[in-house]
């Protein structure tokens, strides 16, 4: 179970990484265009924040040969990069070729079970169903993910599911419960996952009560004094 951030913005990634729960980032041409800098600089900025992050970068060619060439360059530039290939017939041919090269791929823009089957048969490491874009048109993104997961299980498929196009924190919980390997989300959804009014109220009450503890303001400084706890225990 891994959480990715759906952004190429350095500040958003830094805030996400600081929470300790982000393992990677996903980009697409739209996300990259928002940063107003070349692709290479965007990737460098991500890895500057945390060199262990997995970075998903999409090819832009519409022909298999072009996709393969772009993917090889991306993969050679950093071992952290997983190449995103669009769900087209040309894309599937590229995935097959990249699989032979040992280059990891995520087939993106997946909106049906049959597309997921095709991507897995071609050798995709992951498929990325776009949950929110289906929900936007009154279809059922979660249902699609459940169907893909069930089918991959029956067929013992080696392809993972990376759920993309996420709109709400509830969707994150539902998608992990459905067995997604990775869910990628915008920053606001990530931070919404952490919040609960009862956590805020509980913490406020604890802090108010702590003021009643004798010596409470210096309690932790006292713990640091050498031997303090050892003396208590003996
Ligand atoms: C991720 O890689 C996808 O491209 C992204 O989640 C799409 O999200 P959107 O539907 O909000 O544009």
Q: Tell me the pLDDT tens digit for each residue of 148-169.
A: 999 999 999 999 999 999 999 9
CA–centroid distance, 164 to ligand 1, in Å, is 5
- How many angstroms separate the CA atoms of 89 and 122, rounded? 10
Mean pLDDT of 114-118: 98
Percent of the chain's residues with pLDDT above 90 = 91
Q: What is the pTM of this model?
A: 0.94
pLDDT for 226: 61
Are residues 107 and 95 in contact, defined by beta-carbon separation less than 8 angstroms? yes
Q: Is the pLDDT of residue 225 over 90?
A: no
Q: Which helix (H) or strand (E) holds 142?
A: helix 141-154
CA–centroid distance, 6 to ligand 1, in Å, is 7
CA–centroid distance, 186 to ligand 1, in Å, is 9
Nearest alpha carbon to residue 104 among 127, 131, 87, 88: 127
- The residue whose C-alpha atom lies closest to atom 12 belonging to ligand 1 is 165
Residue 84 known to be catalytic = yes
More confident position, 125 or 234: 125
CA–centroid distance, 155 to ligand 1, in Å, is 27
- How many angstroms separate the CA atoms of 101 and 98, rounded? 5
Q: Is the pLDDT of residue 221 over 90?
A: no
- How many angstroms separate the CA atoms of 210 and 42, rounded? 46
Per residue in 115-144, is it b (16+ CB within 10 Å) or e — as a string? bbbbbbebbbbbbbbbbbebbeeeeebbeb
- The residue whose C-alpha atom lies closest to atom 4 belonging to ligand 1 is 28
pLDDT for 224: 75
CA–centroid distance, 225 to ligand 1, in Å, is 52
Atom number in ligand 1 closest to CA 56: 2
For a ligand 1 pocket test, name from 164, 171, 172, 189 the mutation site with the most ligand atoms within 8 angstroms of its C-beta.
164
Q: Is the pLDDT of residue 192 over 90?
A: yes
Q: Is the pLDDT of residue 233 over 60?
A: no
Atom number in ligand 1 closest to CA 185: 6
Structure tokens belonging to residue 172: 């994150």
- The residue whose C-alpha atom lies closest to atom 2 belonging to ligand 1 is 26
Residue 148 neighbours by CB under 8 Å, 6+ apart:
110, 113, 116, 127, 129, 161
pLDDT confidence band for 230 (50 / 70 / 90): low
- How many angstroms separate the CA atoms of 233 and 112, rounded? 62
Mean pLDDT of 138-150: 98
Q: Find the catalytic residue in 84, 188, 212, 226.
A: 84
As for ligand 1, residues whose beta carbon falls within 6 Å of it are 6, 26, 28, 128, 130, 132-133, 164-165, 184
Q: What value does the mean pLDDT of the chain take? A: 96
| Paired residues of 24 in beta bridges | 4, 54
Contacts 24+ apart (CB under 8 A), 32-38: 32/8, 34/8, 34/9, 35/8, 35/9
Q: Is 178 left (phi over 0), alpha (psi -120 to 50) or beta?
A: alpha
Other residues' Cβ atoms within 10 Å of the Cβ of residue 152:
20
Q: What tens digit of pLDDT does each residue of 35-91 get?
A: 999 999 999 999 999 999 999 999 999 999 999 999 999 999 999 999 999 999 999
């Amino acid at each position: 179970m891994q959480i990715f951030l759906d952004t190429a913005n350095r500040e958003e990634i830094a805030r996400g990484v600081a929470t300790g729960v982000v393992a990677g980032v996903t980009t697409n041409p739209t996300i990259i265009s928002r940063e107003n800098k070349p692709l290479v600089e965007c990737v460098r900025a991500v890895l500057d924040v945390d060199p262990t992050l997995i970075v998903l970068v999409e090819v832009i060619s519409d022909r298999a040969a072009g996709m393969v060439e772009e993917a090889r360059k991306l993969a050679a530039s950093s071992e952290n990069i997983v190449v995103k290939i669009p769900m087209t017939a040309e894309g599937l041919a590229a995935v097959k070729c990249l699989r032979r090269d040992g280059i990891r791929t995520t087939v993106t823009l997946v909106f049906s079970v049959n597309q997921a089957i095709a991507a897995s048969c071609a050798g995709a490491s992951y498929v990325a169903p776009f949950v929110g874009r289906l929900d936007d048109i009154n279809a059922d993104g979660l249902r699609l993910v459940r169907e893909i997961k069930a089918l991959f299980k029956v067929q013992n498929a080696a392809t993972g599911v990376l759920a993309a196009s996420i709109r709400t924190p509830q969707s994150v919980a539902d998608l992990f419960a459905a067995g997604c390997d990775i869910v990628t989300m915008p920053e606001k959804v990530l931070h919404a996952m952490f919040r609960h009014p009862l956590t805020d109220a509980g913490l406020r009450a604890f802090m108010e009560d702590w003021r009643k503890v004798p010596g409470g303001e210096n309690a932790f400084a006292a713990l640091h004094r050498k031997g303090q706890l050892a003396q208590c225990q003996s």
